[in-house]
Structure 1
Amino acid sequence: MSSEVPPAGGELSVARLPVVDEVLAAALAAQGAAGVRALGLLRDARRVLAGAGLERPAEVGESCLRGAADALLSLPGAPDTVGLKAAAKDLLAAVDALPAPPAAASPADGTAAGGLPGGAPAPQEAAATAPSPGASAAAPPAGALSRVREAAEVLRGQLVRPGGFHRARAAGIAERLMGVALGGYHERALDGWGEVYGRTSGTLHGGQADLAGAAGVYRDVLLLAWELLAPLPDRAVRIRELAALDEPGAGEARELARWADPRTTRWFFCSRQAAAWLKALEEHAPHLLLADAAAGVWPAAPFLEHLAAVAPGAAGRWLAGHAAELAPAGPHVLGALLRLSEAGVFPPGGGAPAAPARPGAGRPRGRRRRRRACRAGSWPPGPGPSRCPSGTGTGSWSPRSC
């Protein structure tokens, strides 16, 4: 699927706008009425942007794209979630629910009984009614304050990372279709939905649009829809193409960062790709090399284990700078680091992790068992990052390859 954006101004050529391919069209149609509506609006947007006869084709095209995005994010699986407006409304409601402070009553003439003009109390009365040093004004109920704090935290999260409402809806749909929970990597890949809504909202509420910008929004919606709906087997060809590259660049690294399916990321990192991928990812998508703290996994561990054999210097340099950050991410991450440490990848003083103490660790037999387990890649016990089966990068594709 092409991602080229036409230049600003002038009429666009149909050939320069990507089409809704057969795979995506079938996936949309399979989602029922909302998917069929999204498919029609995407095709209409392309016709509008590439056609002639309209005075404001960019704005009409973005209107179609906003409708397509609305239809896509109304598919089954979208959860009821809180957006920026709802978070602000909840905070105001929590503030309004706080009890009002008691008002001090004063006579109509403005002179307090026994006091001075203007309502000021006499010095003797002020001294008598002043709170004692240990006393405090009546505080609002703890439950009311707690609700205010919780609502404020939700609103703060929306302001720090906008688009959470649309991202959460897309994540719910993705998890229903993929059958797996999304981690932090893949929720981040869904940030584009909020950007699409922000751009099209501005146009729908009076902002101007140009053909190049509208073509970019069309491309983004198409890519987001593909990531959300394309079946896993149809992604296999592209995964193989990327894994086979000897000199990947910024575009390929950013493409990986757009993947919303955890299974595609896992399979890619099990494909024994070229060592040049380390530099490309480090420069353009560094978060993909780190552990996914939200999911408690380290998808890139098989890639680093492969580098330990083919480019140990590059692997050791990267690990020396990140081992301390990786080790606390969970037992499976620590297990992968221990395997890399045993392989001798870490440079001297390079922060190689130490195996945690375990029951019976002082017994020679126990130490031998642990060393054998580490060599087999099975420590710590339980499911975790495992070594890839031989031939993963060249054999027949299967979603269970890793």
Structure 2
Amino acid sequence: MIADPLILSIVLIVIMFVFLLSSIWIGISLMLTGIIGMLLFDHNLPPVISVYDKIGDLLASSLYDALNSWSLAALPMFILMGEILYKSSISTRLLNGLKPWLTHIPGKLLHVNVAACSLFAAVSGSSAATTATVGKITLDELQSRGYSKTLAMGSLAGSGTLGYLIPPSLIMIIYGVLSDVSIGKLFVAGLIPGLLLATLYSFYIMYKATTDKENVMPNDDEKYTFKDKLYSLKDLAPIFSLIGLVLGSIYGGFATPTEAAALGILGSLLLAFYFKALSLEILKNAILNSVKTSVMIGFIIAGAVFLSQVIGFLGIARAMSEFITGLGLSPLMLILLIGIMYIILGMILEAISIVVMTLPIVLPIVVLAGYDPLWFGIFLVFMVEMAQITPPVGFSLFVIQGISNEKIETILKATFPFFIIMIITVALITFFPELVFFLPNKMIG
């Protein structure tokens, strides 16, 4: 009973790798993989149903379900905000302003990806929006200044996943609803693990900058005085004011993330006007590029949702969950095997589908093994984050490929160290669960 879904999952992974490495559009690759999966499994359909009719119905419904989302409206608006900041050279001012403050830290401006993704994650709650927006602002700038593009892409991929861990987080909301765990507690519980992960990323950047300085950083020995740092605030203050506007509107309860994204566009236009960097040509290019990026991401989302529905239809996620939970393992071995299962599922499913498909089966077993549902929620968010940078359906990998024009193999190599750091952080919260419980317990007190 378990063999067919497991064998099929391996077949689908191989098919996806072949499609993705053959330079076929990512969205089409995902859809073709789903179609082939249904054709391979058509003997399980009732005789009265044509597999081609089922494929057509499922493809049409998944495309509609994937793209008919109000919350998705925030994605193109945040991307447009990033495009305006980039095209009007405000991103250059941001890095110039940060340079005096980061000059004594190994890695210098490479830490901007980590810091910017952490801040933007608190604005958008979306890993795709975080990765696309920050990447548009930083990747070309860092490369033009002589920083390692490999390390810039890797830190962007890893830090971009913080959109799921630092609140507001869509995955936490879904988990809270399905598990009956307080969403407010989940938001608070994710703060320390999220900041811990961001800190470990920065430590890795410092390590690489110290041990391989010539290949990581430009030969820049400029010295900055305290006066220079104060002078740099003229570039930083307006940009941080924009971040404060977007963040404050959400946490102050004045706006939803989608409405805050609209505020972000207005703020970025005002900043471009303030810095005398706004023109019709800049606005035209920013809108055109944001449309291209948004359509690219939307197409990938549609393909991923279709493939996820096929995976659910074929019973792969349920079969793996039932197989693992039936092994009768110790609590630690159980959570280890569940973690491995989620990493495998992350290769063929997008984040929300992983949570929705597996949670009803896995959560009761995990609770019975003695794990707190609040802790498991943060653990699951980490697993979903890993799915964002796990091939072949690593969504953040596709986004970075779209904005960097690098081969997927190059991006995978750049991302791997940050994937390992995620695993280390998961191990830390597993052996030291107080990292998750500390703030929620303080909140109750």
TM bucket by the smaller chain? under 0.3
Larger Rg: 1
TM-score by length of 1: 0.24
Report which of the two has the higher share of helix.
2
